[in-house]
Amino acid sequence: QLQLQESGPGLVKSSETLSLTCNVSGGSVSSSTNYWGWLRQSPGEGLEWIASVSYSGTTYYTMSLKSRVSISLDTSKNQFSLRLTSVTAADTAVYYCAHSSGYYADSFDPWGQGTLVTVSS
Amino acid sequence: YVLTQPPSVSVAPGQTATITCGGNNIGSKSVHWYQQKPGQAPVLVVYDDRDRPSGIPERFSGSNSGDTATLTISRVEAGDEADYYCHVWDSSSDHVFGTGTKVSVL
């Protein structure tokens, strides 16, 4: 059974870089047809997709954050990571990592439990 | 690409809850639905318009046609009280989520 767990600092200062890692168990990040994504949910708001990476390392980014975000795969540790630079208060959110069986039309399942990241001034 | 959902739906236990997701020609896209309870991560309840992941009760069903996709919860239980989000992938907007619907069980 695939399980995902986010980790990273819960507090980041404004203008600095947010770094999160998602540890994957019950499956390999490099197995074909596996895609991995980051999504977020601002307090009291809806869901927003941030980025995805394929089992082979192909990356996809939402246009609104493309200049500040990067996603990467670490096959040796069976995990993938998110970096978001120059954060502001608007980046305060619960960040989720999730699995998908493809990029274009596939659902996200399962999701990690989520980690709250607060951007402070 | 914008997906519009009603902010809230109220339903009595044992009755049927219908949650709509409106989008331009959404019938041509694959729609997925997620259930999110307070303080928890979203859980997939319907994928590809009408399929259910293993472990999801048959009470959850989906349909998609024209400009509206629908998630139907039959024989509603207290445990179904949650926020529900629809999701599609669009060639211009990438992954898009609906505005969310809060289902309240009376």
Share of chain B above pLDDT 70, in %: 100
Mean pLDDT value across residues A65-70:
97
- The pLDDT of residue A102 is 86
- The pLDDT of residue A105 is 85
pLDDT at B24 over 90: yes
Q: What's chain B's average pLDDT?
A: 97
CA distance B45 to B51: 8
Q: How far is A8 from chain B (nearest CA, A)?
A: 17
pLDDT at B84 over 90: yes
Mean pLDDT value across residues A91-103:
95
CA distance B33 to A94: 19
Share of chain A above pLDDT 90, in %: 92
CA distance A57 to B71: 34
> CB distance A105–B34 less than 8 Å?
no
Among partner residues B40, B89, B96, which is closest to A104 by beta-carbon distance? B89
- The pLDDT of residue B78 is 97
Q: What share of chain B is helix, strand, coil (3-state, %, to 5)?
A: 5, 50, 45
- The pLDDT of residue A33 is 84
CA distance B9 to A115: 28
Burial A80-113 (b: 16+ CB within 10 A, else e): bbbebeebeeebbbbbbbbbbeebebbbbbbbbe
The torsion angles phi and psi of A106, rounded to 5 degrees, stand at -95, 155
Among partner residues A62, A108, A110, which is closest to B94 by beta-carbon distance? A62
Residue count of chain A:
121
CA distances from B11 to A91, B8, B37, B84, B88 (A): 35, 10, 17, 14, 26
Q: What are A38-65's pLDDT values in tens digits?
A: 999 998 889 999 999 999 999 999 999 9
CA distance A102 to A20: 22
